[in-house]
Amino acid sequence: MATVLYPRVSTEDQAEKGNIETQIQFGIKYCDLHEIPLQEIYKDDGVSGTIPFHERPEGSRLIEAAKTGKIKTVLVYKLDRLGRTARVILNAIYDLEQYGVQVRSMTEPFDTSTPAGRFALTILAGVADLDRTTTLERLWLGAQRWAREGKWLGGIVPYGYYLNEDGYLEINENPIQGFDMSEASVIRLIYQLITEQRLSTIKIADYLNALALPPSYVIHGRQLRKGKRLENTSGKWNPGRIRNMIVNSTYMGTHHYGKRSKKDREIITREVPAIISEETWQQAQQVLDDNRLEATRYAKRHYLLRSLVKCNCCGLNFSGTAYPSGKAFYICNGKTTYRGKYQGKCPAKNIPAEWLESMVWQDCVNFIESPGEALATLNSSMQLVKSKKESLESEKGLVLNSLLSKASEKQSIIDLYRKKLIDAQDLEKQLGVIASEKLSLDLRIKELDKLINQEVNLSVHHDTAEQLLTDLRAKLGDEETPYEIKRDIVKTLVRKVVIETEKPQDGNPQASVTVHYMFIKDVLHTDKDSRQQ
């Protein structure tokens, strides 16, 4: 029955500074002083104390060793080395005790083998939890104060800027090594290409890559972390990154601190040095919207299943593409350069557009003309769509009401300041809170509008499936159905089309097409019939 030592530090920076070695040296001296034979050391470098004990690399190995029954005692420097929340600490001790293992702190007076020690343990676990939450709150309050003053607090510095000695953003006009351009010049070039030449983000990325201009990761030698392994980034500009830079309001001089946090925090809006004017930034947003609309407005061929075809391999959508031969296909966006986890190498098979659209359209027509028992399924699906749309509209109403109340709240705060009931610092703080809340509400309304538009189709305008079918039959008529009406019908009756590609060891890839309709369970097709086209 052996005694083992468990040291832990939260970050690799602490490990590099030797903090974990201090725990180990203390443990060795402690064992020598008390004549305790130390069998092994299980040390977790750079592992957060909020991670459950059994999910840590060495913590998991320690538990596996405890299962063999050869470990009697686990020594820790302090109880917070087991965890930084009361639940994690108590769960870790409970898991170890299941195998007859006691936990002993070398600097705190408790021993889990006695009732008094167990009582002291719960108090110390609570103290460790309180210490962590108090520290986090104190750090957050300090961060808020510095953020209001305009300091850049952690995170990657936006391309085109650098941090001065005081921690404030400055425009980076220093030439990039090997080029006559600075990072700020690259930002201006990007906005010039989109506002003056109306280039797409794909063409801008291609142009910057052709110029061999290094992105931020290359300039600063940053690396991506995946687990414990460091990997260099590809060092290429991609359309998604270009778009993020174009919509980033920092470049017009406005930064929203705390916007990316998943926690319920105040969003602080502050001024930073502007690389481009607000007018240029607004113009770039308009061009992005125009490019998106023109992509469909001037298409040479209309694709009936646009935005409905999904790839089962990489999760991206299929887009319609026409070849010079005249044949059109649905092609996975994961095959396009810069897109998807394969970066242009998604193995999904191209699907002939005429075959796929004809098949789905015929299924819809057959149902409209002879619904049979599937009518009940459509009725149920319609109610779900309506319920979801009503829920979204209800939430939008609440958000709009909250947004309207912000104006009166702002005026009330100003009135308190005029009456000298609050000082200028409180006024600034409260106005900042109101501004951040208003920004969050504005963003949520945009999200809700997008979700509501996704649910708007012919089904929401009818009370029953019978009424919907009557309307759809009238739209079909006796003549050729126009594309716009076909599109409305398909959007109403088709949830999505999923393409799954299988590549046999010998032979050509084969695709299975699963169509999710509103009126029937999933329908599976294969692309074998398409080969006749």
Q: What is the pLDDT of residues 37-52, one digit of tens each?
A: 999 999 998 888 888 8
Q: Exposed/middle/buried for 370, CB within 10 Å: 0-12, 13-18, 19+?
A: exposed
Q: What is the pLDDT of residues 150-202, one digit of tens each?
A: 677 766 788 999 988 888 889 999 998 888 899 999 999 999 999 988 888 98
CA 511/CA 247 separation, integer angstroms: 38
Does the pLDDT value for residue 232 go beyond 50? no
Q: Looking at residue 228, what is its pLDDT?
A: 31
Mean pLDDT for the stretch of residues 455-464: 72
Q: Looking at residue 263, what is its pLDDT?
A: 57
Does the pLDDT value for residue 111 go beyond 80? no
Does the pLDDT value for residue 213 go beyond 50? yes
- What class has domain 2-146? alpha beta
Q: Looking at residue 478, what is its pLDDT?
A: 67
Interacting residues of 18 by C-beta distance below 8 A, sequence separation 6+: none
Q: What is the pLDDT of residues 83-107, one digit of tens each?
A: 877 788 888 888 888 888 888 888 8
Question: Domains of the chain: which residue ranges?
Answer: 2-146, 161-297, 309-532
Sign of the alpha-carbon torsion through 158, 156, 161, 208:
negative
Q: What is the pLDDT of residues 120-149, one digit of tens each?
A: 777 777 776 777 677 666 655 656 676 677
Where does the pLDDT of residue 527 fall: very low under 50, low under 70, confident under 90, or very high at 90 and above?
A: low
pTM over 0.75: no
Q: Looking at residue 184, what is its pLDDT?
A: 93
Architecture of the domain whose range is 161-297: Alpha-Beta Complex (3.90)
Q: Looking at residue 410, what is its pLDDT?
A: 84
Where does the pLDDT of residue 13 fall: very low under 50, low under 70, confident under 90, or very high at 90 and above?
A: very low
Does the pLDDT value for residue 532 go beyond 60? no
Mean pLDDT for the stretch of residues 272-285: 92
Long-range contacts of residues 262-267, Cβ cutoff 8 Å, at least 24 apart: 265/140, 266/144, 266/432, 266/433, 266/436, 267/435, 267/436, 267/437, 267/439, 267/440
Please, what's the b/e burial string for 406-419 (b: 16 or more CB within 10 A of its CB; e: otherwise)?
A: eeebeeebeeebee
Beta bridge partners of 499: 311, 513
- The share of the chain scoring above pLDDT 90, in percent, equals 22
Does the pLDDT value for residue 264 go beyond 80? no
Range from 429-438, 481-490, 520-529 carrying the lowest mean pLDDT: 520-529
Q: Would you state the structure tokens that stand for residue 517, as one six-digit string?
A: 């309709």
Concatenating the DSSP letter of every residue in 489-521 gives HHHHHEEEEEEEEE--SSS--EEEEEEEESSSS
Q: What is the pLDDT of residues 290-327, one digit of tens each?
A: 777 666 555 667 899 988 999 998 888 998 888 888 88
Question: How crowded is residue 387: how many other Cβ atoms within 10 Å of its Cβ?
Answer: 11
Token pair 């009756």 in the structure block, residue: 493
Which of 379-383, 447-451, 516-520 has the largest mean confidence?
Answer: 516-520
Q: What is the pLDDT of residues 398-440, one digit of tens each?
A: 888 888 888 888 888 888 888 888 887 788 778 877 877 787 7
